Homo-oligomer: A and B are copies of this chain.
Amino acid sequence: MKKIAVLTSGGDAPGMNAAIRAVVRKARFHGVEVVGVYHGFEGLYKGNFELLDLGAVGGIIQRGGTKLYSARFPEFKEDEYQLKAIENMREQGIEGLVVIGGDGSYRGAMQLTEKGFPCVGIPGTIDNDIAGTEYTIGFDTALNTVIDAIDKIRDTATSHENTFIVEVMGRAAGDIALWAGLAAGAESVLIPEEEYDLEEIIARLERGAARSKKHSIIIVAEGVMPGHKLAKILEEKTGIQIRVSVLGHIQRGGAPSAQDRVLAGRLGAKAVEVLLEGGSGRAVGIRNHTIVDYGLREAYEGNHKADLSLYTLSKELSI
């Protein structure tokens, strides 16, 4: 291979730029050229390409977001769009593609692979919800952003002896809520993977109040229910006034954490290696501290499983 392309797709995640940088530098290390594709699959279809030299990825390792932009492009499900994308790449002499994104992006990559164009996926999403890899790029940063926000909220909660519900991201996967709950010392955590027990949450609130610990933090993943809805339910049952904070989009941004940058560096380099060794339709990931590659289909058809031992521990520590 002489030339490969790289794009970012789906929701942006901190560390995507570090991954782009690693792809470019590892490829250059092997004498391979790298073309950046702007605006994800839409840019692939429209031929929105630019050659990335070492200078083009200078000073981006620490930046949130993605220098290559990201976009939704539902049309890409259709064959003609995919074929056009492949044609565009072949015209430029591009022989392989690295796709950085979530499982929606992996599907697009798999379809290109099936039409004969070698693709490798890098897991870039704050939700940590991709099967086959223990961590995704962006998760650790999002987690630190969440606990930093909860530390701030706790200042107010403690000073006013209030109960707060903090709604965090996570539709199907509760990893952010789960880890943040343990890291921030939340009194209760609600995740999509586990049935919540309203009576237990209420008992916990009342137990705290009884031993004069009058403030309380409850974390709820957006996939369980909106924070405001939970507040209303709890207020009706307990008569306690409850405040709500929806963390929202701040969870996606910010300079990537050390872990995310190192992970991005390792996965970016591995993706290039896989392509150069002839791999196609592969995803890269981390398992037991080792960087691995496996089938893209396994990644988006499989299920990421949250570590529910953290859920149990969280409960034990918030007696």
Contact = CB atoms under 8 A, between A and B. Distances in A.
Contacts of A55: 211-213
A117 interface: no
A250 B245 contact: yes
Q: Which 8 A-B pairs have the closest CB atoms?
A: A152-B253, A64-B155, A155-B253, A65-B155, A65-B159, A12-B159, A183-B261, A143-B258
A131 interface: no
A153 B249 contact: yes
A132 interface: no
A259 interface: yes
Contacts of A28: 319
A244 to B, nearest CB: 8
Contacts of A58: 213
Interface residue range, chain A: 35 or more
21 contacts: A12-B159, A26-B317, A54-B213, A61-B185, A65-B156, A134-B289, A140-B258, A143-B259, A146-B258, A152-B253, A152-B254, A153-B250, A155-B253, A155-B254, A183-B258, A243-B249, A245-B248, A265-B313, A269-B313, A288-B289, A289-B307
A131 to B, nearest CB: 16
A269 B310 CA distance: 11
Interface in A90-125: none
A299 interface: no
A14, A146, A316 — most chain B CB neighbours (10 Å) = A316
A241 B319 CA distance: 42
A61 B318 CA distance: 12
Copies in the complex: 4
Contacts of A152: 64, 145, 249-250, 252-254
A262 interface: yes
B259 A316 contact: no
Contacts of A316: 25-26, 29, 269
A149 interface: yes
Contacts of A258: 140, 143-144, 146-147, 179-180, 183
Contacts of A25: 316-319
Given A155-B254, A179-B262, 8 more contacts: A63-B155, A64-B156, A69-B158, A149-B250, A152-B254, A155-B252, A245-B249, A265-B313
